């Protein structure tokens, strides 16, 4: 009798605990269901729309996100460099390549909650396309790091995990057909200030 009660309790504990924990874990992952990966960059084009999958819907409700609409823009998030290593705030990176068509884009360095990295200086950890210098072939090279760099410099500071958020505004790529043959810039690690 006691054994049966114990087994029932065990089943219930696994069901409730496991079910709850797995939802929590699935919602915490950056790279979830409904993601589109282009190189190192991940986007959720369906997030916040009524046609989104249940995981995106739960994430929207839990985090209070108000996602960008299709006529507004599309955000890409990078978590790793082209070598597959986690981006770190104490490291320097070089972002190089062509950017897809858009009225303008913004790029910022973010912490784990995807808020912009606090630099503690007047210069924010953010760049936008009207202020960048371009190469002769219209591509852009951006140096990311805490040390000043010539050309385009995205200031970061501190240590720990870093995310890069690249958002294109008023762009045709936000409609799903535009995403198929899209190329985004590469993120190369230059060195670390360990």
Q: How far apart are CA 150 and CA 172, in angstroms?
A: 32
Min separation Cβ 22 and another protein, Å? 5
Distances (CA, A) of 29 to 23, 44, 51, 70, 84: 10, 13, 20, 24, 17
Indicate which single residue of 82, 90, 106, 146 sits in contact with another protein (rule: CB under 8 A): 106
Q: Applying CB under 8 A, does 170 fall inside the site for another protein?
A: yes
How many angstroms separate the CA atoms of 171 and 72, rounded? 8
**How big is the site for another protein, counted in residues (CB under 8 A)?**
58
Q: What x/- string results for residues 110 through 149 when contact with another protein is judged by CB under 8 A?
A: ---xxxx-------xxx-x-xx------------------
Using rule CB under 8 A, residue 182 touches another protein: no
Angle between helices 54-63 and 2-28 (to 10 degrees): 80
Q: Phi/psi zone of residue 64: left (φ > 0), alpha (ψ -120 to 50 degrees), beta?
A: left
The CB-of-40 to another protein minimum distance in angstroms stands at 19
* Residues in 147-166 at the binding interface with another protein, rule: CB under 8 A: 165
Of the residues 62, 134, 147, 161, which one makes contact with another protein according to CB under 8 A: 62
Handedness of CA 9, 14, 17, 20 (dihedral sign): negative
Q: Which helix (H) or strand (E) holds 166?
A: strand 163-169
> x/- binding map, residues 80-99, to another protein, per CB under 8 A?
--------------------
Site for another protein (CB under 8 A): which residue of 5, 64, 150, 181?
A: 64
Sheet holding 126-128, edge to edge: 36-38, 41-43, 73-78, 163-169, 104-110, 126-128
**Residues of this chain that bind another protein (CB under 8 A):** 3, 7-8, 10-20, 22-23, 26-27, 48-50, 52, 54-55, 57-58, 60-73, 103-104, 106, 108, 113-116, 124-126, 128, 130-131, 165, 167, 169-170
């Amino acid at each position: 009798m006691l054994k049966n009660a114990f087994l029932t309790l065990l089943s219930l504990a696994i069901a409730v605990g496991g079910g709850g924990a797995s939802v929590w874990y699935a919602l915490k992952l950056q790279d979830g269901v409904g993601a589109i990966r282009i190189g190192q960059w991940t986007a959720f084009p369906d997030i916040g729309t009524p046609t989104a999958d249940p995981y995106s819907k739960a994430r929207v409700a839990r985090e209070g996100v108000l996602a960008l609409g299709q006529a507004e823009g599309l955000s890409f998030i990078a978590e790793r460099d082209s070598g597959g290593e986690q981006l770190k705030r104490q490291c320097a990176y070089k972002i190089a390549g062509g950017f897809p068509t858009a009225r303008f884009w913004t790029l910022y360095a973010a912490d784990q909650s995807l808020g912009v990295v606090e630099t503690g200086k007047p210069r924010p950890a953010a760049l936008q396309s009207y202020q960048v210098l371009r190469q002769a072939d219209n591509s852009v090279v951006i140096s990311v790091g805490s040390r000043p760099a010539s050309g385009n410099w995205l200031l970061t500071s501190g240590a720990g995990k870093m995310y890069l958020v690249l958002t294109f505004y008023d762009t045709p790529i936000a409609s799903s057909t535009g995403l198929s043959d899209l190329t985004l810039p590469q993120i190369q690690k230059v060195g670390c200030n360990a």
